[in-house]
Structure 1
Amino acid sequence: MSEDLRDEVEALNSIYGEGCLVPSEDQDESPASSSTTYILQLPGDEASSLRLQFPDTYPAEPPAVLGTQHSSGGRRGAGARDLGVFREALGTVFQPGSVCLFDAVEEFVRRMEEEREKEELLQQQEGDDAEDGEGANADRGERAVDGGQTDFAAMTPPPWTLSEVVVENKSTFVAHVARVTSPAEAKLFLQHLLWSDRRIRSATHNITAWRIRGPGGTSYSDCDDDGEDAAGGRLLHLLQLMEVWDAMVVVTRWYGGVKLGPRRFALINSVARDGLVRAGLGDGGGKEKEKKKGK
């Protein structure tokens, strides 16, 4: 063992703890051997240990990383990951004639911290996406139709007015609008729509809202997000802004696999507004009317 290697072994064990760098038990101690094999325990609670072979000419030549002595217990593939990262770190810091093991270990630690930060960021983004709910219903299949004892085949189809179909980043949006006189009729119309069209029954979201005047000055309103967070409330708010009564709107979205973020709410409201205007239930100027009232 060269004096440089001996000093480096002592330094690493003093910094990272005894046992960080120890001779291999199957060391070849024959006079003909031109190398020395050590076991390097990488820093970290679940880090792997590696087999390193130091040539007698070290540090003029770099040590060879033979493989893993013991793989990390953290997760599958961690040993191969640690081995690859350390080899890259060693290749980055080695300079002929200078000891490199401490620098290689520090570079390994730095790279692993970067990977950990990336994983945490990805998990956070995935968590945000899950909380956001966009695309959450993409694989749920067809909805069940709840029509009670209703014979949909004998029923007169609801007088739906369709909006323009809007496609953006593989997602498709369309609105169905109908005049209704009671919450029961609104629910029946929705179930008939699901029964009559398999594509709508299998859509990612069918977002609904209705606003109905009742007798004696009573009124009824309701909405359903159908998995598209807060979208139903936005539709109901649109009906209020446009001063629409005795009507319902169903906005269907087929999710295409590309998240649209907040943009999807603008598209949902856009097709809903278009359907309401086509049905003669508003002129699209609800916001302007409300602004004038507030002056």
Structure 2
Amino acid sequence: MSEELQDEVEAINSIFGAGSLVQAGEESDIYVLSLPEETVSLRLQFPPDYPAVPPSVLSTNSSGGRRGLGARDLELFRGALGNIYQPGFVCLFDAIEELKRLQEEAGLNREPSLEPKGTETDKEVAARQNGSTCSSHASGLGPEPPWVESDPFVELKSTFVARCAAVTSPDQADQYVQHLLASKKRIRDATHNITAWRIRGPNGTSFQDCDDDGETAAGGRLLHLLQLMDLWDTMVIVTRWYGGQKLGPRRFALINSAARDAFVKAGLVDDSAGSKKKHSAK
């Protein structure tokens, strides 16, 4: 397995959940891709010189879905690969996203997407463009939030740092984000500040939201991580400083790794296996 493919397998399983992309057998160049929110899985063959040469989509397996879904997704994914692949660049994450787009065009999506649209709110634009104003009002945003900070994760000069905190309401989560941006110029000036939170409300209600801050799909992936770990009353913000070299799908694995490290340091998950330790932050 090439280093690029190894990184891509790790990234896909980090983004979409363990077992999303698995080797079909020992020392095999064939992998099984379980498509997100689908009953269909695809068998892909990666040549030894991938990504210089594209993968091949061999076949599909459908379980529990409507008749014909497998053949439909097989053709759509082949089309997605054809649209996305560029020699020398890993392509699987982008191909999955392109598949979603093609499904939407064909009116075939069966589940609403959790992914944000990648646009900033007016308030976020104002916070980004008026740094001095934000700083001058930091004292009016309340006390310093009880952040637990991850170790920095650095790759190709890009740096990722996560912070998590206990929250009890959507307003509090928003206040914590605004406090961080207003009081920390280096964070405010970062390339991306990706956030996600899940909160249990009264009478069985619940709230969850995310913001990718221009890093398309990252907020949704971060929220998915909270869901997989069954973490509640918790928010996380991952800050990225871009180092000038593109990381491809590897960046999503680094975002999730930084978030997990913050959860571990906060005592929300076990360090050894990354398994859940508690349901909510304290």
**TM-score, reference length from structure 2:** 0.50
Q: Between Structure 1 and Structure 2, whose CA radius of gyration is higher?
A: 1
